[in-house]
Amino acid sequence: MAEHLATTGAPAPAEHAEATAFGLDAPGWIALAMLAVFAILLWKKVPAAIGRALDAKIATIRQQLDEATQLRAEAESLKAEYEAKAAQADAEAATMVERARTEAAGIVAQAETDAAALVERRTRMAEDKIAAAERAAVDQVRARAATAAAAAAERLLKDKLDANADKAMVDATIAGLGRP
């Protein structure tokens, strides 16, 4: 006590005796209460109920696992089916692209043939027009030349021939007709 007074400056509390009831102190009563709780739990068959609840929960979990396994198998079969469909669609798309390329090549070849034929036809038409224009020009030149020649012959005849010369020419022609 003197030590407590010297260190804290207050008198030391008096020591009390532990409280007991029916000869048991606090830890004894706690142990007795725990034994009573365990005895009641065993008497009410709580461990069996807990076991049944756990068994039911295990059964539910197993059922869910079975359903999950079944769903996974279905998903994998659907995945395989869709992969097969996708592969088939890819093959069909490749076939369609190849067919389109072939048709496009045919169309291009036909267009080139048609264009060449059109160019040849237009060339022939242009050549025909040019030939017709040349013929018309030649005919026009010939007509002008004939007109010019006739005019020149007329001028010459007017200049060189007079009535006496005409008479001599007509007489010579008639004399030439009478001879066989």
Cα–Cα distance for residue pair 126/164, rounded to 1 Å: 57
Please give, one letter per residue, the 3-state secondary structure of 34-47. HHHHHHHHHHCCHH
In which residue are the tokens 């030590």 written? 3
Cα–Cα distance for residue pair 121/141, rounded to 1 Å: 30
For residue 37, what pLDDT is reported? 86
What ranges do the domains of the chain cover? 28-160
The model's confidence at residue 7, banded by pLDDT at 50, 70 and 90, is low
In which residue are the tokens 């079944």 written? 70
For residue 49, what pLDDT is reported? 78
> Which pLDDT tens digit goes with each residue over 76-96?
999 999 999 999 999 999 999
Cα–Cα distance for residue pair 11/2, rounded to 1 Å: 8
> Which pLDDT tens digit goes with each residue over 137-180?
988 888 888 888 888 877 777 777 766 777 777 888 888 876 65
> What are phi and psi for residue 46, nearest 5 degrees?
-65, -40
With a cut of 90, say whether residue 67 has pLDDT above it: yes
For residue 14, what pLDDT is reported? 62
Q: How far is CA 136 from the centre of its chain?
A: 62
Whole-number average pLDDT of the chain: 84
Question: Which SS3 state, helix, strand or coil, does residue 26 take?
Answer: helix
For residue 131, what pLDDT is reported? 92
The model's confidence at residue 5, banded by pLDDT at 50, 70 and 90, is low
For residue 102, what pLDDT is reported? 94
Neighbouring C-beta atoms of residue 41, cutoff 10 Å: 13
pTM for the predicted model, two decimal places: 0.38
> Which pLDDT tens digit goes with each residue over 22-66?
778 888 888 888 998 888 877 878 778 788 888 999 999 999 999
Query: Is residue 15 a contact partner of residue 22, using CB atoms and an 8 Å limit?
Result: no
> Which pLDDT tens digit goes with each residue over 111-149?
999 999 999 999 999 999 999 999 999 888 888 888 888
Query: Is residue 4 a contact partner of residue 10, using CB atoms and an 8 Å limit?
Result: yes
